[in-house]
C-alpha cells in the first residue's frame, strides 16, 4: 500500500465505505475540515441536521438549510449519504409538547414528518436511519412519545411511511448492542418481529460508541452474523473510542496505540463478516460530542486530531482495509 494512499482510496478499492458524521457549520466555515472530509471519507452522515428538532424551528415550518448543505456536499463529492434520523425520542422541537396532541394526532404528525423529510431526499440519500434507539438498556421497549401513542406498531408505520416516499435503504439504529448482550438480544427479537410482520426494513446500524465498556471483537462478529442471518445488512454507524481513567495507559502515545488496536479489530470483524461500512462520529477529535457529555472520558476518540493530522487509529483502519 503506497504511503500516500488516502483512507478513502483504500476503502473504495476494497469496496468498503468509511464515513464520518458531518456538521453543517464547519462544512461552511472551516477549509481544513472540508478538505479532510473530502479527501479521506467516501461516506457521510448528517450528525444533527436531519433530526426533527433542527428541522422544525416552528410548528408549521421546516428549515432544510443545514440538511441540504450536508446532503449536497455528499452528492457533489461522490459520497454515499446516510441520513439520520427520522424517528427518535430525543432532539424533538422545543415547541413540541406531546400532551398537546391526541394519539391519532401524534400519528398524523409523525407521518407528515416522515413523508416530508424522507420525500424531499427521495433520490439524494442512500440510507435512512428510520427509527433510532427504540430499545431501552434493559432490553424492554423504550417508553417514548411515539411508543405511548402507537405501541410497538410505531416502528412498523415509520418504516412503511418511509418506504412510500424514498428509494433509500431503511435501517434501524441503536447503541449498546454492538456485541452479544441483553440489549442486542432484544433488538434481534424486535427486528425478527418486524420482519415477520412484513415491515420493509433493510438493515441494522450498530453505533459502536466504545466508551465506558468495549465489546469483544469476536462478539461483534457473532452479532453481525446473526443479524445478517435475518436477511439484514449491518453497518457500524457511529464509532468512537474513548477511555475511563482506570483504562487509560496514562500516556497519549500509548493510549492512541490502544485505540488504534480497537479500531483495527472492529474493521477486521467487519471484513470477516461482510459488513462493509464503518462510520466514525465526527471528523476530528475537536468535533466530538464526548467532551460535552462525559467529563470522565478521554477527549480524543476519532481518527484525526484537532489539527487535521491522522492518528495511529487512522493508520490502523487503512492497514486493515489494505490487507488481504
Q: Check if 222 is active-site.
A: no
> Count of CB atoms within 10 A of residue 286's CB?
18
User: What is the C-alpha to C-alpha distance for residues 45 and 280, in angstroms, rounded to an integer?
Assistant: 9
**Three-class DSSP category at 64:** coil
For residue 191, which phi and psi values (nearest 5 degrees)? -65, -35
| Element holding 86 (H helix, E strand) | strand 80-87
| Element holding 233 (H helix, E strand) | strand 233-241
> Count of CB atoms within 10 A of residue 79's CB?
22
What's the Cα-to-Cα distance from 91 to each of 19, 88, 94, 96, rounded to whole Å? 23, 7, 8, 10
User: What is the C-alpha to C-alpha distance for residues 218 and 178, in angstroms, rounded to an integer?
Assistant: 11
Give DSSP secondary structure letters for 115-172: HHHHHHTTTT-SEEEEEE--B-TTSSBP--HHHHHHTTHHHHHHHHHHHHH--SEEEE
Q: Check if 40 is active-site.
A: no
| Element holding 27 (H helix, E strand) | helix 24-29
Which residues neighbour 13 within 8 Å (Cβ) at sequence distance 6 or greater?
none
Catalytically annotated residue among 40, 47, 107, 133: 133
User: What is the C-alpha to C-alpha distance for residues 205 and 134, in angstroms, rounded to an integer?
Assistant: 12
57: which 3 cell numbers?
A: 424551528
Catalytically annotated residue among 238, 246, 268, 272: 238
**Three-class DSSP category at 280:** strand
Catalytic positions are 133, 238
Amino acid at each position: 500500500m503506497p504511503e500516500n494512499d488516502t483512507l478513502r482510496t483504500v476503502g473504495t478499492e476494497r469496496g468498503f465505505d468509511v464515513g464520518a458524521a458531518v456538521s453543517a457549520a464547519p462544512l461552511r466555515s472551516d477549509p481544513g475540515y472540508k478538505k479532510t472530509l473530502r479527501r479521506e471519507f467516501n461516506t457521510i452522515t448528517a450528525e444533527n441536521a436531519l433530526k426533527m428538532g433542527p428541522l422544525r424551528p416552528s410548528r408549521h415550518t421546516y428549515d432544510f438549510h443545514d440538511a441540504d448543505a450536508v446532503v449536497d456536499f455528499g452528492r457533489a463529492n461522490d459520497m454515499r449519504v446516510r441520513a439520520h434520523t427520522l424517528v427518535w425520542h430525543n432532539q424533538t422541537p422545543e415547541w413540541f409538547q406531546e400532551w398537546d396532541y391526541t394519539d391519532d394526532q401524534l400519528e398524523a404528525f409523525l407521518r407528515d414528518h416522515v413523508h416530508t423529510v424522507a420525500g424531499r431526499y427521495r433520490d439524494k440519500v442512500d440510507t435512512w436511519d428510520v427509527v433510532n434507539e427504540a430499545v431501552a438498556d434493559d432490553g424492554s421497549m423504550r417508553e417514548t412519545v411515539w411508543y405511548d401513542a402507537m405501541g410497538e406498531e410505531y416502528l412498523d408505520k415509520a418504516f412503511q411511511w418511509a418506504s412510500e416516499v424514498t428509494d433509500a435503504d431503511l435501517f434501524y439504529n441503536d447503541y449498546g448492542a454492538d456485541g452479544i448482550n441483553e440489549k442486542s438480544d432484544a433488538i434481534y427479537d424486535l427486528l425478527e418481529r418486524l420482519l415477520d410482520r412484513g415491515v420493509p426494513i433493510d438493515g441494522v446500524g450498530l453505533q459502536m460508541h466504545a466508551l465506558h465498556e468495549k465489546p469483544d471483537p469476536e462478539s461483534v462478529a457473532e452479532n453481525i452474523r446473526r443479524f445478517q442471518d435475518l436477511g439484514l445488512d449491518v453497518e457500524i454507524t457511529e464509532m468512537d473510542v474513548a477511555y475511563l481513567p482506570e483504562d487509560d495507559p496514562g500516556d497519549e502515545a500509548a493510549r492512541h496505540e490502544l485505540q488504534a488496536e480497537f479500531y483495527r479489530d472492529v474493521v477486521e470483524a467487519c471484513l470477516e463478516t461482510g459488513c462493509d461500512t464503518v462510520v466514525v462520529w465526527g471528523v476530528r477529535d475537536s468535533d466530538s460530542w464526548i467532551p460535552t457529555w462525559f467529563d470522565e472520558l478521554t477527549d480524543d476518540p476519532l481518527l484525526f486530531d484537532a489539527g487535521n493530522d491522522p492518528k495511529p487509529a487512522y493508520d490502523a483502519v487503512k492497514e486493515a482495509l489494505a490487507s488481504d
